Amino acid sequence: MSHHHHFFRAFLRNLGHVGAIAPSSQGLADAMVDWIDWDTIGSVIEFGPGTGVFTEAVAKRKKEDTRFIAIERDPELAAITSRRCPEITIHEDCVSNVVPLAREAGIETADAIICGLPWASFSPELQDQCLHAMFEVLPPGGKFATFAYWQGLALPSGQRFRKFLHENFSTVEQSPTVWKNLPPAFVYRCER
């Protein structure tokens, strides 16, 4: 069974928690991770790796001694990412539990968080829960990358999330559109 099929099944199982019908493209993965200076990153956490496209991109770029964990709540997607990147610890859990999961891995604070969560699909309460947990491990100067689909900006939750980024990060940049992604997307590149 292809990753696309698994991802679409996860989308149907978890409406509101899986925000796409297909895995992210390699072009989107590159846009998510290429702006970070990986020589300066000692710890990284990934939220919502899905089928592991971003996980694999980080694993190829990070230093050998960089601590790296990923958190995926869907069991099927977590298993796919574990098979794709067996050297990375994948926790089958909710990102709201990031603090104890990070501490278990010896990560007190994360230099970078790579995020594949569908923010525009989340309720305001779930957005707040995940974002507040993230700020417990992302210190000032920490890097945060997440992506958005253009149609998500039309949703109140997408607008709310964008406003939150601008209010809570010292810099927020937007990548060029990655047209070879289904659907087309861009990356928010943020520094706390």
* Dihedral sign from CA coordinates of 29, 35, 36, 38: positive
Tell me the pLDDT band of 21, cut-offs 50, 70 and 90. low
Domain ranges for the chain: 3-191
pLDDT for position 1: 52
Tell me the per-residue pLDDT of 56-100, one tens digit each, with 9 for 90 and over.
999 999 999 999 999 999 999 999 999 999 999 999 999 999 999
Q: Does domain 3-191 have CATH number 3.40.50.150?
A: yes
**Prediction pTM value:** 0.87
Q: Is the pLDDT of residue 4 over 50?
A: no
Tell me the per-residue pLDDT of 138-158, one tens digit each, with 9 for 90 and over.
999 999 999 999 888 888 888
Q: Where are the alpha helices (DSSP H) in 34-109?
A: 53-61, 75-84, 98-104
